[in-house]
Amino acid sequence: MDCILCGAETRTFRKSKKREFVRCTNCGGIQLLPEYYVAEDIEKQRYLTHNNDVEDPRYQQFVSPITSRVLGEFSFKHTGLDYGCGTGPVAATELEKHGYSVALYDPFFHSDKGVLTNSYDFIICCEVMEHFYEPTREFRELSGKLNPGGKLYCKTSLYSEDIDFDNWYYKNDPTHVFFYTEESLIWIKENLGFSRVEIEPKLIVFSK
């Protein structure tokens, strides 16, 4: 099959835990074959098991690379969107403590699509992009929702050659369908409406 991100040819990569993964020959992304996708109700149940307590200091620390950057680069007068916020929108909650206005969207838990008709100064996408079944469409639409000078803050675990894929915990989540590489992120920047991408160990920032 073709890569669901850049459309290039893929080749067999690994078979693990009775599932098959292929790798893109262009952007280096790794994807789960669609026949192994979980059903929507099972996907929702999986998300309900996530312990995203907005009062949990550990989760607050987990999202701090995002919230720290937003606090340093935007004021409370700017508008934000927490895209794929899940059951516990911790990043949005932390920013709201500082007077920020952050809209929430999640296809399962905050499904008001009205917020997607607006434009924003910053968008948060924390542990979400690995769930995208159509990453090209998702990133193009996210870029389109950013105001000039806006930023998209993402967190995900990138794949690199020094990772033992067979023992990599990140690929074991049945709802994770695409694993990005640095090359994948550069492709997104160059093709889907962004001017810059910053790749840090715990944070990815796309600039409009």
Provide the CATH number for the domain around residue 45. Answer: 3.40.50.150
Residue 161, CA distances (Å) to 10, 63, 168, 198 in order: 17, 26, 12, 20
Q: Domain for residue 61, yes or no?
A: yes
Q: Domain for residue 3, yes or no?
A: no
Query: Which helix (DSSP H) or strand (DSSP E) does residue 61 occupy?
Result: helix 57-62
Q: Domain for residue 79, yes or no?
A: yes
- Domain limits for position 109: 10-207
Residue 83, CA distances (Å) to 1, 111, 154 in order: 28, 10, 10
Q: For tokens 């105001």, what's the residue? A: 147
Q: Domain for residue 2, yes or no?
A: no
Q: Domain for residue 5, yes or no?
A: no
- Asked whether 197 and 46 are in contact (CB, 8 A), the reply is no
Q: Domain for residue 1, yes or no?
A: no
Q: Compute, in degrees rounded to 10, the torsion defined by CA atoms 161, 68, 142, 176.
A: 40
DSSP state of 38: P
> pLDDT truncated to tens, each residue of the chain (208 aa)?
899 999 999 999 999 889 999 999 999 999 999 999 999 998 888 887 766 667 778 888 999 999 999 999 999 999 999 999 998 899 999 999 999 999 999 999 999 999 999 999 999 999 999 999 999 999 999 999 999 999 999 999 999 999 999 999 999 999 999 999 999 999 999 999 999 999 998 999 999 9
> What is the tally of structural domains in the chain?
1
Q: Compute, in degrees rounded to 10, the torsion defined by CA atoms 47, 45, 34, 173.
A: 50
Q: Domain for residue 185, yes or no?
A: yes
